[in-house]
Structure 1
Amino acid sequence: MDWLMPWLQMFFGTDVDWKQVLLVGMSPIFVLAFLVEWRVMLRRGRNSQFRWKEIWANIALGSSYQIAETAMWLLITGAVFAFVYQFRLFELPVNGWTILPIFVGVEFCYYWFHRCSHRIRWFWTAHVVHHSGETMNFTTAMRQSVLNAFIGSYVFYLPLVLLGVPPAVVMFLYAVNLSYQYFVHTEVVGRLPRWCEFWLNTPSNHRVHHGRNPEYIDRNYGGVLIIFDRLFGTYEREEAPVDYGIPQQIVSYNFLVLNVHEFVDMFRDVLAPGPLTQRLKHLWKPPAWRRPGHENVRTWTTESRS
């Protein structure tokens, strides 16, 4: 394996982004899993969730996300993690005794990143891309925005680095978390045994998260575990059939529109006439928030599905 590090450093620099390494390495498994899912659902006569325009949009969004994340790590994110790690409070060992608590720590950070991505519009401008798909299959997990790399979502993981977890470990375990999540974006699996549904983010639990049904909106934020949703009151069990998408559904398969529509609308809302203190609230208030006397901007065509 002596050849591996020089090869990785050629692409990722001296501070290898293990998150991207693992996700790229998992890509053939992701593709194979999708093909199996498609065949199984085809045999069941349930292939309505395989809309090929949306699937190709998902693949394009996922590929560009990987490129943007890698570029951002090389330019900024890697340096930020390295800088914060210089001021770590402890020297935390990484071994068989500590890896599980560290993983739970990453999951905890992911929960709050995910929750803030729904409740703070600045972060929602990137995360909305993931939720604007109106079907559910494995490629939905690939539906990510290039803006993820630029809005600063990595700050949610810096507390672990400050505590003394090496950045490479944080990023690798984050990638393990994301890899697991790929396999919960499906309708091929129904409800799992009760203990699984209680502890884990399962396909059933995650389908709820993607629903625009009123009772499902902003629920089930967990990545691998669902216990933080239960602890913080954001858990919802799958009961009614899930209606996938967002209440103000963007009507487009255009790669650029899907990436920037909410970001553009947010800044147009900020720039619209009104008191500055009210206009700036569009940056941190929930996505559906409206300031008095202003109708939120919709630059591109949307359809109300609420």
Structure 2
Amino acid sequence: MALTDMILAVFEDSGLKALWETLAPWLALDERQLIFVVATPVFVIVAVWEYLKIRHDPKLMDTREAFRNFALGAGYQVTELLFAGIIAFPVYALCYHYRLFDLELNWLTGLLTFVGVDLCFYWMHRASHRMRWFWAAHVVHHSSERMNFSTAMRQNATNIFNGMWVFYLPMALLGFNPVWIGIAYALSLVYQFFIHTTLIRRLPGWIEFIFNTPSHHRVHHGRNPGYIDRNYGGTLILWDRLFGTFVSEDAQDPPEYGITRPVPSNNLLVLWTHEYVDLFRDMARPGRLMSRLKHLWKPPEWERPAPTNPESQHAGTHIHPDGP
């Protein structure tokens, strides 16, 4: 079967082909991208509401940065729109063609899709902090020293190119339709927009126990030593509790937002690429090829040891807040 036939089969198997043809025959969007396009006006409205409440506090809001954050988000959406269909989706279609199980969409498989995607997100997010190649794209999201709804839009236009989408491929191999995977992922990101705020302090205990909340996510964006590498969850915080990465927000130790080595410029291209530049500069230093390549998958704070010293990691040289 040709790859194009596989891709068409994915859409037909999703049960959404007819609906899609009716709603958006003129758009070169998949369902996941359409969710982002529809949600963006909601994001803007909510961000404006928050802005009116906190605009007088420079620690919470900077107007120029807020516009910059939305520009960063727009760049992310544009590259996703232009390249996701030709880079990621053919690989998903290939995996789905060789799937282990034939799964029909019902309430159970829908729930399993949501849970599975959220688990994949946890490991993708964790890798985005602990593997420098992925961190190079993710760092822009953490480089703001403020926590507000506009910060959620602070994304990297290079995301589609650095391959974080591979973490969801096992779902397609198991038999979950890539269209469902994309929808679950998009809805998770929509949910996560609303946890980027300081206006909501604590929610009822059972919600705080199960779900990722503004309180939990403020910890994740903190560069405080006790908050680094914590609370990676997307919609659910249960994964952090299960895998030992959960930390509760401490009123006596409020989060300090940002990264420990601030970006020297607010230029959009610099924000998108500065960590790639530093990464390849470190790789270009003389040394064995394998040792130089380790910069790609070692943690962001890892430094290549001198030739006469054993390989080690040097604490206290963190260049990011959580270890993303």
TM-score, normalising length: structure 2: 0.86
Does residue 89 of the first structure (1) align with residue 105 of the second (2)?
no
Q: Partner residue of 1:18?
A: 31
How does 1:182-221 map onto structure 2 within 5 Å?
182-221=193-232
Structure 1's unaligned 5+ residue stretches are 295-302
Shift of 1:30: 0.6
Give CA deviations for 1:256-286 in whole Å, capped at 9, x if unaligned: 0000000111111111112222111101000
Distance in 2 (CA, whole Å) between partners of 1:98 and 1:164 is 10
Give CA deviations for 1:81-108 in whole Å, capped at 9, x if unaligned: 1111110110112112221121010100
Structure 2's unaligned 5+ residue stretches are 1-16, 308-317
Assess if the C-alpha contact under 8 Å between 1:135 and 1:245 holds in 2. Answer: yes
Aligned residue type for 1:102: T
How does 1:154-303 map onto structure 2 within 5 Å?
154-239=165-250, 240-293=253-306
Shift of 1:40: 2.9
Q: Partner residue of 1:32?
A: 45
The Cα RMSD (Å) is 2.1
Distance in 1 (CA, whole Å) between partners of 2:70 and 2:50 is 16
Residue aligned with 1:249, SS: coil
Q: What is the aligned counterpart of 2:59 among 43, 48, 51? A: 48
Shift of 1:169: 0.4
Assess if the C-alpha contact under 8 Å between 1:208 and 1:238 holds in 2. Answer: yes
- Number of matched pairs: 293
Q: Partner residue of 1:299?
A: none
Shift of 1:304: 8.1
Distance in 1 (CA, whole Å) between partners of 2:212 and 2:99 is 31
Sequence identity (%)? 49
TM-score, normalising length: structure 1: 0.91
Structure 1 pair 271–47 and aligned structure 2 pair: CA distance change class (3 A)? closer
Q: What is the aligned counterpart of 1:140 among 123, 127, 151? A: 151
Residue aligned with 1:222, SS: coil
Q: Partner residue of 1:8?
A: 24
Residue aligned with 1:92, SS: coil
Give CA deviations for 1:46-97 in whole Å, capped at 9, x if unaligned: 4531112211221111001001011112322121111111101101121122
Assess if the C-alpha contact under 8 Å between 2:217 and 2:231 holds in 1. Answer: yes
Assess if the C-alpha contact under 8 Å between 1:53 and 1:253 holds in 2. Answer: no
